Chain A
Amino acid sequence: GAVVSQHPSRVICKSGTSVKIECRSLDFQATTMFWYRQFPKQSLMLMATSNEGSKATYEQGVEKDKFLINHASLTLSTLTVTSAHPEDSSFYICSARDPSRGPGSGNTIYFGEGSWLTVV
């Protein structure tokens, strides 16, 4: 079946630095990918929609200059947390849509394994 891979699975970075998280669709072309964030012991919240070849669409309250999203190819979207601070520590997870499986969300959305970011 379709697989979405995220890298790194865990990363620790120093406050003030930037960190990049990659989301790859391994066996399908994903025209659309989604980035979610999960705070400790809370639910997942959609951050942005990443569209191949165009600018990402950010949800209300998400700083686009803080969380840079690039979807330069049909199999790769990246999330860069810029000038990271301890409050950015969170679980980030992507999902990708496989358009070849037809319309409807039930059969076309696949999640990556997620990335745990700790900013110290």
Chain B
Amino acid sequence: GNSVTQMEGPVTLSEEAFLTINCTYTATGYPSLFWYVQYPGEGLQLLLKATKADDKGSNKGFEATYRKETTSFHLEKGSVQVSDSAVYFCALSLDYKLSFGAGTTVTVRA
């Protein structure tokens, strides 16, 4: 079956620190990959996506590269801000259904 494994949190960082959240996947076929973000008390927002191998998704300073050889889609940001505090979900999609990772809670301290 399809599944997503992402690093467990919580992750606590200082402002301007480097953030990496690891994500690996298992899928039958060639999925699209996503990172979603959920801010406290809010719904789900698409952060970035990649639809094929070697694609790099980027948004708001976050980046992730679709690595088929390692079945990974790690999220990175070079300098986090307090406003980046949220829960981050890695997800894959085949046939338009999404399978989500467990989510990683990130807290950025000023």
Contacts and interface: CB of A to CB of B under 8 A. Distances in A.
A-B interaction: yes
Interface residues of A, number: 24
B44 A44 contact: yes
Interface of B: 31-32, 36, 42-46, 49-51, 89, 93-103
Tell me what chain B mostly uses at the interface: helix, strand, loop, or mixed.
Answer: strand
Nearest to A110: B46
Nearest to A96: B96
Interface of A: 6, 32, 34, 36, 42-46, 49, 91, 93, 95, 97, 104-109, 111-114
Contacts of B42: 113-114
Given A46-B97, A105-B93, A107-B51, 6 more contacts: A34-B98, A36-B98, A44-B44, A105-B98, A106-B50, A113-B43
A34 B96 CA distance: 9
